[in-house]
Structure 1
Amino acid sequence: MSSLDTLQGPQDLQRLPAAMLPALADDIRAFLISKVCAAGGHLGPNLGAVELTLALHRVFTSPRDPLLFDTGHQAYVHKILTGRAPGFDRLRQTGGLSGYPSRAESVHDWCENSHASTSVSYADGLSKAFALSGHTERTVIALIGDGAMTGGMAFEALNNIGGSTRPVVVVLNDNARSYALTTGALAAHLRTLTHPDMPDRAGPPGSAGSPQTTPPNVFTHLGFTYLGPVDGHDLDALQTVLEQARALRRPVLVHAVTVKGKGFAPAESDEADCLHAVGTVDAVTGYPAPTPAPSPPSWTSLFGQTLLELADEREDVVAITASMLRPTGLHPMALKYPERVFDVGIAEQHAVTSAAGLALGGYHPVVALYSTFLTRAADQVLMDVALHRLPVTFVLDRAGITGPDGPSHHGMWDASLLTLIPGMRLALPRDSVQLKALLREAVAWNDGPSALRFPKGVVGPETKAVRRTGSVDILFESGIKDVLLLSYGPLAPLCLEAAAQLVSQGIGATVADPRWATPVPAELRELVAAHRLVVTVEDNSRTGGIGSHLVQTLRDHTITTPAHNLGLPRDFLPHGPRAQLLCDAGLTATQVLTTVLRARAGTPP
């Protein structure tokens, strides 16, 4: 990859003769395929943005002109062009290159953006800052996909920028997809601008429209000069239109049409998600390496299977997601009951309040989101669902430590949020049996909202209870009621290991799985009161988490059993293997044992 070795920064790219750029684009694609297939990461989005990123760095001067990547998973080419190609050998590994923009990595990364529909708002604020400080020669560029443009926040920002005269260039990377095909009226409108049979199209891909020749569209109505559509893989056309946008010194939207997964046949032919995000896969076929034995089901697939069974049984069960039909496990239900599954685009706030409307209309919506994305709709969960005590079930995938996607994707805060909400019932299944049972219990509840959270990855073996009291499962009891370990979710094996170590040291131990974290049942309060010490263990932030909620409940009922809460630190945790990050956070059997021994000795854990 000698052509890449010469690129230490964007200035090297700007000095290259234009005739060398197509070969460079080919080298970048080959590099991405080789490195991402080996390490895992976002392949399809970056293959589709090669020429677009080259043109942006040729026309604009980073970091003087901030280049802001919406969602951030299509910034790999940007990282290569800003001197970080050697880091791809440790992409998304502990201490290695992040899979998203990272301010700690480079001055060329202005924001650590991996949540969608935000780049245009960043651009609005940065352009205001430049205007206030007199840096009117600088241009702010926001690169946003058509999928991310479906989020309401993007249009809030367009509304503000379009009413100004500030030099902001919004580059719309239109590949007609997020994970899958983009849905809704905006997608249809963009097709009218790019499809050759539509009467109001602005021009063929490869040509750049102008204010005089472009028919009115949603962006011109919002105050932008619309340029495009332009072929997002034609370097000459891209550079021409971006230079025109830079020269206008006002709000401009450049509409670039690209192909997700461009240059890698398995991605281009994959109708599901164009190899959007991959684990370790074959760099020729795009398929994962064969496993010697069938792997256990994932939490996601098990949820999808169980939800389909519930949909078969109940016609009032409907499902909602935000552009993540397959990643959240809703695809099986969508195939069988397409009229009962709603993909609302990357619009979590709208998803939640739309679910509230469905509940008002007599249906039971199941809202399937990643944990990290639920926090974007906190107000809607609180005021639009819980205030009305509506029967909506939230299913939160990727809860807790997620691993290589890093701080923006760890689902560390959902439980802290949900335990604050009056009437919210929060369940944490420990295994496949409990996931099926708790989802059924949640959907059967009609007096308010419920939520289930589970981690990324495969489901572990079943952890059977020795008995049940109320809704609480007792997983182990030695007979002597010294220490009660409360295991929330799939950390049960950890607590059982710690209990065995306690018993080996002559300390009586009980391990209980509350199953429902909220509301705290009377049986759990009685169980705590019968022990000398309680330790809670959760894959969520300790701050305001499930353990904190339990302690407050115990105080409200004048239960004085000392309690210690173990969980994730109040910090943004780096990317790395889930097991390692849990260990670093002290969520190990050894740390549980240490906490108990220190508490019994009267020293701080």
Structure 2
Amino acid sequence: MSIEIGSKLKDIILPSDLRKLKETDLEEVCSDLRQYIIDIVSVNGGHFAASLGVVELTVALHYVLNTPYDQIVFDVGHQAYGHKILTGRRENFHTNRLIGGLSGFPKRSESEYDAFGVGHSSTSISAALGMAVASAYKGEHDRQHVAVIGDGALTGGMAFEALNHAGIEKSNILVILNDNCMSIDPNVGALKDYLTNITTSKSYNRFRDDLVSVLAKISKNGPNAYGWAKKLQQSIKGTLWENANLFESLNFRYFGPVDGHDVNQLAKTIEDLKHIPGPKLLHAITVKGKGYALAEKDQTKWHAPGLFDKITGEIKKTIHEKPQAPKYQDVFGHTLVELAESNKAIMGITPAMPSGSSLNIMMKAMPDRAFDVGIAEQHAVTFSAGLATQGLVPFCTIYSSFMQRAFDQAIHDVALQKLNVVFCLDRAGLVGADGPTHHGAYDIAFMRCVPNMIVAAPMNEEELRNMMFTAQLPDKGPFSIRYPRGSGVMPDWRKPFRELPIGKGHKICDGEEVAVLSFGHIGNEVVKAFKQVSEEGIHPAHYDMRFVKPLDEELLHQIFAKFQKVITVEDGCLMGGFGSAILEFMAEHNYQAQVVRLGIPDDIVEHGDQEELWQICRYDATAIAEEINKLTAGRKTQTLVG
């Protein structure tokens, strides 16, 4: 594709090229880089506003630091588009998030400049500290280690754990707090208020303007001078601003806040901080979506807007002639409000994903009963458990891949106490362009091994509603419901609620010779496959199992009594998943049958469209039809001979 590249950016292939420029050129580099991101993302899609907000910071870091020897860890990775463009990937950046192309996140196997792979938040400080300790151990005392973390990611407990540890190490680590008051949605919590107080303290801001350069100059004269400077700094800070000690109390040298869009000042500040040993934190104030007015105005909408007209800002949507099925997340959001209207015990909880999970629908309708707890999945689960001990019914909605971070809490705080917490696991299965850090591949396997846990998956929107209705009824205990990213199959989805018997599947259609057992939305690919094989005179049976724990053993006995050939289909990992559960049942009851399991293989699945990934992993409609054909090949040959 042909996109015009700015005069300064076009000569920058690697950071070494950037460092050849004068400081006076940096503003133009930033302008070129920001425009290039806008040009590419507008026609290819991807995360948008976050990278625009750190253009100046990214340029300053690569200008001052000796990357890749000096190491930068971008928390989450939504911020890293500019970084990728400046580190040898500009020509391929149009392949970002496309199958076979660049990853949407930093990835160690993709570039030596990607110091750490990141997709989940709050990991950067821990990783950078590990690198810093390793460098100190190896005698690489001149090596810089930087963690760029947003104020949203700083709400994650892991970030605080890392700050706590880093404060007792003397390793050379710089944490840059990219403070824009946003994650995907507006940030919440006391930390947000604390950071706001910092940015509005006029007396402290006057003081900090001169502090960085003074400390840097003093520290160059040796450790004794630096020790004296630290005592002076602490004394003055305590006088000017009594609340300036959150980071100080963790033994971090705090600098800022600084203008995160003044590239020259950022470069000078980072240069000075290179000469100050030990853990340091630079507080940079930025605007998410900087340089694109619409993104600055509505930062949540422009976090990842899809394709858009960069001139008018019109987000391009596919025009459909027929009524379309809603997204599963929206069915969840509207259904939760509907249930909560009749059940006053229902509460909604999400870890910083109200719009992504559609809990924002309940937050608007019932603000006193819906909670965004910040990027803190562990807390979200145990907070839900606390609610449940008091007779409430919390619906804890978490992306499947994020639920991995709270597995211990699901066991220790929910399942062991048999608490009625309903886990609604959005983005279950292969999610598409976000790739392996976000694929919800493992929740079937890790939830079905937890005692007391009910594990369910709907094949369509009506089943999702009925599972949610069933889960909030008395004495159900821990209940996990998984559903995929994207749309369902029922435009007319608002059906009356119906209680589902726990652990019961149902037969979609009877058939002969082959039985196909599906779990969840992927069963719709089975329906498509049946249309293909029916044209060849093949008519298998299809069972929507609905529950993988407990299994419908009565139905399975009927299936294995009749069929010697069985196919299981799941949008989850084969290791320990739904198909494994079927094999376990078969072995325990001494059935003999040929079983073919289709699902996510024991491998890392890269990014691409969902349908492309299903095809690669061989559980799309075509692959299912092919497996049916293989199992019925003998009968077809006999028919032809006859």
TM range (shorter): over 0.9
Which of 68, 71, 86 does residue 81 from structure 1 map onto?
86
Structure 1 distance, partners of 2:607, 2:590, is: 41
Which of 483, 494, 498 does residue 529 from structure 2 map onto?
498
My pick for the range that moved more, 515-524 or 183-192, is 515-524
Equivalence map 1:427-442=2 (5 Å)? 427-442=456-471
Q: Which residue of 2 aligns with 1:548?
A: 580
Gaps of 5+ in 1: none
Structure 2 distance, partners of 1:203, 1:514, is: 65
How far the C-alpha of 1:476 sits from its partner, in A, is: 1.3
Give the counterpart letter for 1:582 in structure 2: W
Pair 445,544 (structure 1): closer, same or farther in 2 beyond 3 Å: farther
For the Cα contact (< 8 Å) 2:419–2:477, is it kept in 1?
Answer: yes
How far the C-alpha of 1:588 sits from its partner, in A, is: 2.9
Pair 49,204 (structure 1): closer, same or farther in 2 beyond 3 Å: farther
Give the counterpart letter for 1:250 in structure 2: G
SS at match of 2:580: helix
Q: Which residue of 2 aligns with 1:289?
A: 316
Structure 1 distance, partners of 2:139, 2:541, is: 66
Give the counterpart letter for 2:545 in structure 1: P
Give the counterpart letter for 2:160 in structure 1: F
Identical aligned pairs, as a percentage?
A: 40
Mapped pair 1:564 → 2:596: yes
Q: Which residue of 1 aligns with 2:224?
A: none
Which of 440, 459, 475 does residue 508 from structure 2 map onto?
475
TM-score (norm 1): 0.93
Mapped pair 1:116 → 2:121: yes
Q: Which residue of 1 aligns with 2:387?
A: 358
How far the C-alpha of 1:429 sits from its partner, in A, is: 1.1
How far the C-alpha of 1:533 sits from its partner, in A, is: 2.2
Mapped pair 1:241 → 2:246: no
Structure 1 distance, partners of 2:547, 2:382, is: 24
How far the C-alpha of 1:595 sits from its partner, in A, is: 3.2
How far the C-alpha of 1:522 sits from its partner, in A, is: 2.9
For the Cα contact (< 8 Å) 1:502–1:593, is it kept in 2?
Answer: yes
Structure 1 distance, partners of 2:510, 2:176, is: 61
Equivalence map 1:311-322=2 (5 Å)? 311-322=340-351
Structure 1 distance, partners of 2:157, 2:372, is: 15
Give the counterpart letter for 2:237 in structure 1: T
How far the C-alpha of 1:176 sits from its partner, in A, is: 0.9
Give the counterpart letter for 2:246 in structure 1: V
How far the C-alpha of 1:593 sits from its partner, in A, is: 4.0
Q: Which residue of 1 aligns with 2:226?
A: none
Which of 460, 476, 488 does residue 519 from structure 2 map onto?
488
Q: Which residue of 1 aligns with 2:332?
A: 303
Gaps of 5+ in 2: 216-229, 239-243, 494-499, 635-642
Structure 2 distance, partners of 1:489, 1:82, is: 41
How far the C-alpha of 1:503 sits from its partner, in A, is: 5.2
Which of 21, 27, 31 does residue 32 from structure 2 map onto?
27
Which of 167, 175, 178 does residue 180 from structure 2 map onto?
175
Q: Which residue of 2 aligns with 1:388?
A: 417
Structure 2 distance, partners of 1:252, 1:120, is: 11
**Alignment RMSD, CA only?**
2.2
Tell me how many residue pairs correspond in the alignment. Answer: 594
How far the C-alpha of 1:462 sits from its partner, in A, is: 7.4
For the Cα contact (< 8 Å) 1:93–1:404, is it kept in 2?
Answer: yes
For the Cα contact (< 8 Å) 1:179–1:324, is it kept in 2?
Answer: yes
Q: Which residue of 2 aligns with 1:338?
A: 367
Per-residue deviation, residues 255-311 of structure 1 (Å, max 9, x unmatched): 11101111111111115x151112112213433225434643111111111111011
Equivalence map 1:176-325=2 (5 Å)? 176-196=181-201, 201-203=204-206, 211=230, 212=233, 213-215=236-238, 216-270=244-298, 273=300, 275-293=302-320, 295-325=324-354
Structure 2 distance, partners of 1:206, 1:539, is: 54
How far the C-alpha of 1:438 sits from its partner, in A, is: 1.5
Per-residue deviation, residues 423-463 of structure 1 (Å, max 9, x unmatched): 21122111121111111112225332111111111212479
Structure 2 distance, partners of 1:362, 1:44, is: 41
Give the counterpart letter for 1:61 in structure 2: N
How far the C-alpha of 1:250 sits from its partner, in A, is: 1.1
TM-score (norm 2): 0.88
Structure 2 distance, partners of 1:122, 1:493, is: 41
Q: Which residue of 1 aligns with 2:553?
A: 522
Give the counterpart letter for 1:268 in structure 2: E
Structure 1 distance, partners of 2:443, 2:401, is: 7
Q: Which residue of 2 aligns with 1:576?
A: 608
Mapped pair 1:63 → 2:68: yes
Give the counterpart letter for 1:437 in structure 2: N
Q: Which residue of 2 aligns with 1:532?
A: 564
Structure 1 distance, partners of 2:354, 2:570, is: 28
Structure 2 distance, partners of 1:152, 1:227, is: 22
Give the counterpart letter for 2:597 in structure 1: N
Per-residue deviation, residues 2-38 of structure 1 (Å, max 9, x unmatched): 3221001111111111111112211111111111111
Structure 1 distance, partners of 2:107, 2:583, is: 37
Q: Which residue of 1 aligns with 2:406?
A: 377
Q: Which residue of 2 aligns with 1:417?
A: 446
For the Cα contact (< 8 Å) 2:600–2:617, is it kept in 1?
Answer: yes
For the Cα contact (< 8 Å) 2:388–2:421, is it kept in 1?
Answer: yes
For the Cα contact (< 8 Å) 2:516–2:541, is it kept in 1?
Answer: yes
My pick for the range that moved more, 593-602 or 560-569, is 593-602
Per-residue deviation, residues 527-576 of structure 1 (Å, max 9, x unmatched): 32232222110010111111102221333344444432111111111111
How far the C-alpha of 1:105 sits from its partner, in A, is: 2.2
Give the counterpart letter for 2:524 in structure 1: P
SS at match of 1:42: coil
For the Cα contact (< 8 Å) 1:204–1:230, is it kept in 2?
Answer: no
How far the C-alpha of 1:203 sits from its partner, in A, is: 4.5
